[in-house]
């Protein structure tokens, strides 16, 4: 529904599985048409057809067929892989015209979406809105190749995997869209993973901050980067399923991601997230003096190892301390190597790795103004006999590291403890 007397621009974004073949592209065209009929000026951002990017990437590295891929160059890699979104944009423009909807494709260099020259992971600098907005308001759907921009010296630059979400948000901000709808293979953001807790409920709204915590904790609905950009630019997002047909009740579908202030009914906890991608590193018998932490974490930072939770405890009987911290599972072996190589300088007795751990978190902006959230969490876990190994907190979340075998039990217990099954 357009705002009376004023154009209401809408950006829609469809990922690779939503445009995987011609039949799905035709469905996308019908969904776009429904928004045009509802009075919106529409821009659609598309990804490459599912599988196409992998095919293109295989030519450009050693992991291709028979390990015979070309050694990649970042700028030329971008030229090759950006072709995938170009194809989808052309096909969707055709599919729209096939059902009588005026449309044309726009490539990164045509708008232009100006990006820096960090090829393969470029950031968007600027999106001049004039040409695009004029075309949209003239009633022509703008079908935009996602994931790509153009550098100031005219080369193609891609934004990295998941960059199409970022393209969509940047365009929504540029044309002052009322909303950016991200169509994906799930129908919204849930209070927790429905595969673990059947009583999980779809949230109708969630704040940017909560979404960011969800995303970084393993609920991979939206790329962190696109949520950050939406928050900075004040673009409301909606996450919804592309596997619906026009005529379904799309007006109430999905989950809106917006400013905290626009969420009327505030909840203390909005969701329970988990991640099994953690490994716990334990260092025993550390000297108890200043500088030890920076000695350890400085080396890990130099090696680009991302450290998450950290806890330090004093041994009861000696003048030494133990330290536990978590890293991504893929970095675990490398982390052990790095600290072992510096055993003399750091000065510890032993190191151990435990990969059978999971991080479970409760997230909610209501924590800022409500006490007792941690107490409820620890109580619920204790009641089920779940032992907490490490705790970390931020302003709007509390995370605990537990034995991985207890993951589902803990998620369900917390989901019930905060009443999330009764939204």
69 versus 366: smaller Cβ distance to its own copies = 69
Residue 13: CB minimum distance to its own copies, A? 19
Helices (H), 217-331: 224-233, 292-302
- Tell me which residue of 220, 105, 75, 223 sits closest to 161, measured CA to CA: 223
- Name which position in 64, 129, 328, 366 contacts its own copies (CB under 8 A): 64
DSSP states of 345-378: HHT-SEEEEE-SEEEEEEE-GGGGT---HHHHHH
Residue 143: CB minimum distance to its own copies, A? 9
Structural contact between residues 242 and 185, judged by C-beta atoms closer than 8 angstroms: yes
Give, for 281, the enclosing helix (H) or strand (E): strand 278-287
Residue 213: CB minimum distance to its own copies, A? 38
146 versus 188: smaller Cβ distance to its own copies = 146
Taking the CA atoms of residue 270, residue 275, residue 411 and residue 371 in that order, the dihedral angle to the nearest 10 degrees is -50
Considering only the stretches 11-19, 74-82, 173-181, 238-246, report the one whose residues sit in contact with its own copies under the rule CB under 8 A.
74-82
> Which residues pair with residue 273 across a beta bridge?
361
Question: Does 34 sit near its own copies (CB under 8 A)?
Answer: no
59 versus 378: smaller Cβ distance to its own copies = 59
Question: Does 83 sit near its own copies (CB under 8 A)?
Answer: yes
- Name which position in 37, 39, 54, 73 contacts its own copies (CB under 8 A): 73
Cis check: omega of the bond before 112, within 30 degrees of 0: yes
> Scanning residues 119 to 158, which ones bind its own copies (CB under 8 A)?
154-156
Structural contact between residues 194 and 200, judged by C-beta atoms closer than 8 angstroms: yes
Residue 252 is given by DSSP the state G
Residue 362: CB minimum distance to its own copies, A? 46
Residue 176: CB minimum distance to its own copies, A? 24
106 versus 348: smaller Cβ distance to its own copies = 106
> Scanning residues 93 to 112, which ones bind its own copies (CB under 8 A)?
93-95, 97-98, 104-105, 107, 109-110
147 versus 406: smaller Cβ distance to its own copies = 147
151: left (phi over 0), alpha (psi -120 to 50) or beta: beta
Question: Does 30 sit near its own copies (CB under 8 A)?
Answer: no
88 versus 191: smaller Cβ distance to its own copies = 88
Residue 180: CB minimum distance to its own copies, A? 23
162: left (phi over 0), alpha (psi -120 to 50) or beta: left
133 versus 323: smaller Cβ distance to its own copies = 133
- State how far the Cα of 70 lies from the Cα of 286, in Å rounded to an integer: 47
Residue 223: CB minimum distance to its own copies, A? 24
Encode burial over 136-149: b for 16+ CB neighbours within 10 A, e otherwise.
Answer: beeebbbbbbbbbb
Considering only the stretches 52-60, 121-129, 372-380, 390-398, report the one whose residues sit in contact with its own copies under the rule CB under 8 A.
52-60
Question: Does 86 sit near its own copies (CB under 8 A)?
Answer: yes
Question: Does 60 sit near its own copies (CB under 8 A)?
Answer: yes
- Name which position in 7, 34, 38, 56 contacts its own copies (CB under 8 A): 56
Orientation angle between helical segments 407-417 and 373-383, nearest 10 degrees: 130
Question: Does 59 sit near its own copies (CB under 8 A)?
Answer: yes
> Scanning residues 289 to 318, which ones bind its own copies (CB under 8 A)?
none
Question: Does 199 sit near its own copies (CB under 8 A)?
Answer: no
Non-local (6+) Cβ contacts of 338 within 8 A are: 299, 300, 303, 305
> Scanning residues 228 to 287, which ones bind its own copies (CB under 8 A)?
none
76 versus 187: smaller Cβ distance to its own copies = 76
Residue 163: CB minimum distance to its own copies, A? 17
- State how far the Cα of 165 lies from the Cα of 381, in Å rounded to an integer: 36
**At residue 175, what are phi and psi to the nearest 5 degrees?**
-95, 10
CA distances from 170 to 126, 165, 307, 375 (A): 8, 9, 30, 40
Residue 273 sits at the vertex; the CA angle it makes with 272 and 279, to the nearest 5 degrees, is 140
In the complex, the residues that contact its own copies under the rule CB under 8 A are: 22-23, 25-26, 56, 59-60, 64, 68-73, 75-80, 82-84, 86-87, 89-91, 93-95, 97-98, 104-105, 107, 109-110, 154-156
């Amino acid at each position: 529904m357009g705002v009376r007397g004023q154009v209401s621009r809408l950006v829609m974004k469809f990922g690779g599985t939503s445009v995987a073949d011609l039949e799905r592209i035709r469905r996308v065209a019908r969904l776009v048409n429904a928004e045009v009929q509802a009075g919106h000026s529409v821009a659609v951002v598309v990804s490459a057809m599912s599988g196409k990017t992998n095919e293109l990437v295989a030519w450009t590295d050693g992991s291709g067929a028979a390990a015979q891929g070309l050694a990649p160059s970042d700028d030329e890699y971008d030229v090759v892989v950006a072709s995938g979104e170009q194809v989808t944009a052309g096909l969707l423009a055709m599919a729209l015209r096939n059902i009588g909807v005026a449309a044309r494709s726009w490539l990164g260099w045509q708008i232009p979406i100006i990006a820096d020259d960090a090829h393969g992971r470029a950031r968007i600098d600027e999106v001049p809105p004039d040409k695009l907005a004029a075309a949209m308001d003239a009633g022509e759907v703008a079908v935009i190749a996602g994931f790509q921009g153009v550098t100031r010296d005219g080369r193609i630059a891609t934004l990295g995997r998941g960059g199409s979400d970022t393209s969509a948000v940047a365009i929504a901000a540029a044309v002052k869209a009322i909303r950016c709808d991200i169509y994906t293979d799930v129908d919204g953001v849930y209070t927790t993973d429905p595969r673990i807790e059947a009583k999980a409920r779809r949230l109708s709204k969630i704040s940017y901050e909560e979404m960011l915590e969800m995303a970084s904790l393993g609920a991979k609905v939206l790329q962190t980067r696109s949520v950050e950009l939406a928050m900075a630019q004040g673009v409301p997002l909606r996450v919804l399923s592309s596997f619906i047909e026009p005529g379904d009740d799309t007006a109430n579908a999905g989950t809106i991601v917006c400013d905290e202030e626009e969420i009327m009914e505030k909840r203390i906890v909005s969701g329970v997230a988990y991640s099994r991608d953690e490994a716990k590193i334990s260092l025993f018998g550390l000297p108890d003096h200043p500088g030890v932490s920076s000695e350890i974490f400085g080396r890990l930072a130099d090696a680009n190892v991302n450290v998450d939770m950290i806890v330090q405890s004093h041994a009861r009987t000696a003048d030494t301390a133990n330290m536990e911290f978590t890293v991504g599972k893929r970095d675990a072996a490398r982390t052990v190597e790095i600290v072992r190589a510096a055993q003399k300088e750091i000065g510890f007795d032993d190191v151990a790795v435990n990969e059978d751990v999971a991080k479970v978190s409760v997230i909610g902006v209501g924590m800022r103004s409500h006490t007792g959230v941690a107490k409820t969490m620890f109580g619920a876990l204790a009641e089920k006999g779940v032992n907490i190994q490490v705790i970390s907190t931020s302003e709007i979340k509390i995370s605990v590291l537990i034995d991985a075998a207890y993951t589902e039990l803990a998620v369900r217990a917390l989901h019930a403890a905060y009443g999330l099954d009764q939204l």
